[in-house]
Amino acid sequence: MPSITYISNSGESRTVTVDSGVTIMQAAVRNGVPGIVADCGGECQCATCHVYVDGKFLGLLKPAAEDEDAMLSLTASERKDNSRLSCQIVLTDKLDGIVVTTPAIQQ
Amino acid sequence: MDCGVVIVGAGQAGFQTALSLRNEGYAGKIALIDDEGRVPYARPPLSKAYLKGTATAESLEYRPAEFFVQQAIDLVLDNPAVALDREKRTVALRSGRELEWSSLVLATGAHVRRLPSTGPEPFYLRTFADSDGLRNHLAGADSLLAIGCGFIGLEAAAAARAQGKRVRVIGAEGRLMGRAVSPFISAWFQAMHEKHGVEIRLNTAVRRVSESSAELPDGTTLAADAVVVGIGVIPNTALAAAAGLAISAGILTDSWLKTSDPAIFAVGDCAAHPNVYAGGLARIESVQNAADHARAVAATIAGKPKEYHQVPWFWTEQFEAKLQIAGLAVETDETEVRGDPDSGKFSVYNYKDGKLKFVESVNQPAAHIAARKLLEI
Ligand SMILES: Cc1cc2nc3c(=O)[nH]c(=O)nc-3n(C[C@H](O)[C@H](O)[C@H](O)COP(=O)(O)OP(=O)(O)OC[C@H]3O[C@@H](n4cnc5c(N)ncnc54)[C@H](O)[C@@H]3O)c2cc1C
Ligand code: FES
């Protein structure tokens, strides 16, 4: 059961624990964590589930696939080197403790 | 006094309206009226991942039930709106409950067009219950007959074929997805389906159906273990029409999505709105249209008036092909293909009088995203 911490743009933090196999977007949405919109429900079509991944964990993630990379150019907040779409990151025990920051705006 | 917002219909557009109202800082009452008895959920997976068995029911829900409580959104389940009183500004629900509103948002969506049936009904695909029923039935079936060669019929065909079923598609039109894509894309998808072993028959208007058969114009009957019909939808306009609101191809709105009554908005599949990309009135069935309509209306109600003018986009997934469309498939006079269609990665640029109108990308997400930006008016 990996746990994940979301830090909002204003610095508030929320930690939730979910089953492996759930995406970072789903974990937020199901637990009422604000800051992730997810218009398209995880289809990699909307870029409203943008997060910044803490540097320590970035290397543990599979690199963004072509569609995620393309969609990241449509984010409403600035795209940075650690920008990812949270609907494309599946949580596993390996990612236990991961920290992401949600951007100021998603749309 | 602000009596709040009542949203009729808790699909993509209704849900997004409620969410965006709170995101915009609207603090008044919000009631979200549903008639399906389910927490709001996404429909696209119903003919894709959910049908194939690779998504769970829970993963379709936009938010869990508690979210609505936390956000003070009164989610009224399984209790359709049955009448509007525009003078008193109330809406009556089936249970007899009456709700007052200062702004009313009609997000009633659409219902499926049906074929006359000769016996037990075939499957249709609009609601969770529809998809769940077909998914369960397919588990014990060897063959599927899909009637309709639009997105729904083709996605269902691909999902069933991927599970090893024998699949036949019967379309009334002369090409696949004819209303929404270029002839080049129709032909490419037809070849792809055929390569996967889907049998396709076009220009064939099915007369009657049952749960296991379809009767063709020449009188012959085709049989299959499962029959699914996807021949389009009809917007839910009855409530609006009965209240005297103007109706055209849907509930008529202006570019602010206001109906003929300025306190009532219409959003999503049910709204016939002026669309700059269509060059006139349009009624569009897509996630983009529903979500962007909802955001515009929520901003307007929250006191930050916003006109609707977003670039339309759409996607479909069939076998290994993800097709993304930016813009609307209007009439064009020039087509340019970039990339190699045989490689399964290419884009089709469609022009009218030298102006780019819409772009179809197959497995080329970067081209799609660039097109969305290019097409912005
Ligand atoms: C199987 C399927 C696959 C799809 N795939 C895609 C895709 O890949 N990409 C894409 O962009 N779009 C897709 N779409 C289209 C997209 O889902 C719709 O455009 C979108 O759901 C429209 O949202 P809406 O809120 O306007 O209507 P709906 O989602 O239909 O919601 C309307 C809701 O209002 C309810 N309602 C109606 N009347 C009343 C009343 N009087 N009182 C209370 N409730 C009422 C309805 O029962 C329904 O629950 C798909 C649709 C289907 C059915
Ligand atoms: S939820 Fe839409 S791209 Fe992630």
How is chain B split into domains, by residue range? 5-111+233-301, 114-229, 320-375
Residue count of chain B: 377
Architecture of the domain made up of B5-111+233-301: 3-Layer(bba) Sandwich (3.50)
B45 lines ligand 1 (CB under 6 A): no
Residues of B in contact with A44 (CB under 8 A): 365
Task: With cut-offs at 50, 70 and 90, classify the pLDDT of residue A46.
Answer: confident
Chain A interface includes B369 (CB < 8 A): yes
Q: Within a domain: residue A87? A: yes
Instruction: Supply the pLDDT for residue A107.
Output: 80
Q: How far is ligand 1, taken at its centre, from the CA of residue B293, in Å?
A: 13
Quote the Cα angle for B96-B101-B105, to 5°: 95
- Cβ contact B59–A37 (<8 Å): no
What ipTM, to 2 d.p.?
A: 0.86
CA dist., res. B15 & res. B34, Å (int) = 10
Per-residue confidence band for A45, with pLDDT thresholds at 50, 70 and 90? confident
pLDDT at position B119: 84
Minimum mean pLDDT range among A35-49, A62-76, B239-253: A35-49
CB B216 within 8 A of CB B204: yes
Residue A107 lies inside a defined structural domain of this protein: no
> Of B210, B230, B226, B225, which is closest to residue B118 (Cα–Cα)?
B210
- The residues, any chain, with a CB within 8 Å of residue B326's CB and separated by 6 or more, are B311, B312, B313, B358, B359, B361, B368, B371, B372, B374, B375
Residues A65-70 have a mean pLDDT of: 93
Residues of chain B with pLDDT under 50: none
A62 within some domain:
yes
Nearest to B369 among A40, A41, A74 (CB): A74
Q: Given an 8 Å threshold on Cβ–Cβ distance, is B369 in contact with A73?
A: yes
Burial of A3 (0-12, 13-18, 19+ CB in 10 A): middle
Contact with chain B for residue A107, Cβ under 8 A: yes
Q: What ligand is nearest to the CA atom of residue A28?
A: 2
Q: What's the mean per-residue pLDDT of chain A?
A: 94
Please check whether residue A22 lies inside any domain of the structure. Answer: yes
pLDDT at B215: 97
- The reply to whether B320-375 shares the fold of B114-229 is no
Domain range B114-229, CATH architecture? 3-Layer(bba) Sandwich (3.50)
B67 contacts on A by Cβ (under 8 Å)? 29, 32
pLDDT for B77: 98
> Which CATH architecture group holds B320-375?
2-Layer Sandwich (3.30)
B59 touches chain A (CB under 8 A): yes
Quick one: which of B331, B324, B330 has its CA closest to B364?
B324
Instruction: CATH number of the domain at A29, please.
Output: 3.10.20.30
Task: Flag whether residue B66 sits within 8 Å of chain A, measured between CB atoms.
Answer: yes
Q: For residue B303, what pLDDT is reported?
A: 96
Q: What is the pLDDT of residues B255-307, one digit of tens each?
A: 999 999 999 999 999 999 999 999 999 999 999 999 999 999 999 999 999 99
Two structure tokens written together for B149: 């060669």
The pLDDT of A25-35, averaged and rounded, is 92
Whether B64 has its CB under 8 Å from any CB of chain A: the answer is yes
Question: Are the CB atoms for B230 and B147 separated by under 8 Å?
Answer: yes
The 3-class secondary structure across chain B, one letter per residue, is CCCCEEEECCCHHHHHHHHHHHHCCCCCCEEEECCCCCCCECCHHHHCHHHHCCCCCHHHECCCHHHHHHCCEEEECCCCEEEEECCCCEEEECCCCEEECCEEEECCCEEECCCCECCCCCEECCCHHHHHHHHHHHHCCCEEEEECCCHHHHHHHHHHHHCCCEEEEECCCCCCCCCCCCHHHHHHHHHHHHHCCCEEECCCCCCEEECCEEECCCCCEEECCEEEECCCEEECCHHHHHCCCCECCCEECCCCCECCCCCEEECHHHEEEEECCCCEEECCCCHHHHHHHHHHHHHHHCCCCCCCCCCCEEEEEECCEEEEEEECCCCCCEEEEEEEHHHCEEEEEEEECCEEEEEEEECCHHHHHHHHHHCCC
B289 C-alpha to ligand 1 centroid (Å): 11
Answering whether pTM is above 0.90, one says yes
Note down the domain range covering A74: 3-101
Tell me, yes or no, whether A106 lies in a domain.
no
The answer to whether position A32 is within a domain reads: yes
Interface test mutation site (partner B, options A39, A90, A105, max chain B beta carbons within 10 A): A39
Question: How many domains does chain A divide into?
Answer: 1
**Backbone φ and ψ of B359, nearest 5°:** -130, 130
